[in-house]
Amino acid sequence: EIVLTQSPATLSLSPGERATLSCRASQRIINSLAWYQQKPGQAPRLLIYDASNRATGIPARFSGSGFDTDFTLTISSLEPEDFAVYYCHHRSNWPPITFGPGTKVDIK
Amino acid sequence: QVQLQESGPGLVKPSGTLSLSCSVSGDSISTSNWWTWVRQPPGKGLEWIGEIYHGGHTNYSPSLKSRVIISVDKSKNQFSLKLISVTAADTAVYYCARNPWGKTGLDYWGQGTRVTVSS
């Protein structure tokens, strides 16, 4: 089973700052990684698919990068609505498909 | 616009069977997508349960494989989840979602339905 590790667990930042979230896979997964945003009481929303492609309607301030085992989600300048929990998710050598434990981005 | 909607009982007794359906609109269940179930226990992260392709091919989480069945009903354009022998640990919000074939990313999600296992 491929394990995804996200860091940090919590990121405390102010609006306008840059957020850098990390997701590390226990095995090589090429580019089979997605990123989601989840707000309380809501379903997750797809932000990035196949490691670096923005999903439909996602603002350009969100970007994904990485390959094989190390991946990054960057939010270039935090907007008030970006404070949420972010999950990574792989789809390589499945089943199982797994999610990372999440990174909470909260207001400093 | 693609929409998914979960339905089913919100309360299931221990040792009973959890049965949920996901109705799909704006897309055919027979298109090139993996139709997926994900759950989230209260205050915890996301857990992948399993998925089905319209031809009937399924993949399940190894930890749930002995208790879960996912099926498709093409006539109703929906897919379903059945989880047997439930315990309190199965209490969660259950989501259905769509993953396009050949891509990594669940692009459409239902709003989620809360299921509590309790007597």
**Which residue among B45, B104, B109 sits closest to A34, beta carbon to beta carbon?**
B104
pLDDT in the model for residue B71: 96
Dump the DSSP string for B15-71.
Answer: TS-EEEEEEEESS-TTSSEEEEEEEE-TTS--EEEEEE-TTS-EEE-TTTTTTEEEE
* Percent of chain B predicted with pLDDT > 70: 100
| pLDDT single digits (tens) B23-52 | 999 999 999 999 999 999 999 999 999 999
Asked if the Cβ–Cβ distance from A44 to B46 is below 8 Å, we say: yes
> Does the CB of A94 have a partner CB in chain B at under 8 Å?
yes
Q: What is the largest CA-CA distance in chain B?
A: 42
> Does the CB of A44 have a partner CB in chain B at under 8 Å?
yes
**Which residue among A43, A50, A56 sits closest to B104, beta carbon to beta carbon?**
A50
| pLDDT single digits (tens) B53-98 | 988 899 999 999 999 999 999 999 999 999 999 999 999 999 999 9
Residue B115, pLDDT above cutoff 90: yes
Find chain B residues with C-beta within 8 A of A31's C-beta.
Answer: 104
What Å distances lie between residue B62 and A1, A61, A73, A97, CA to CA? 10, 37, 29, 10
Residues 6+ apart with CB under 8 A from B84: B17, B18, B67, B68
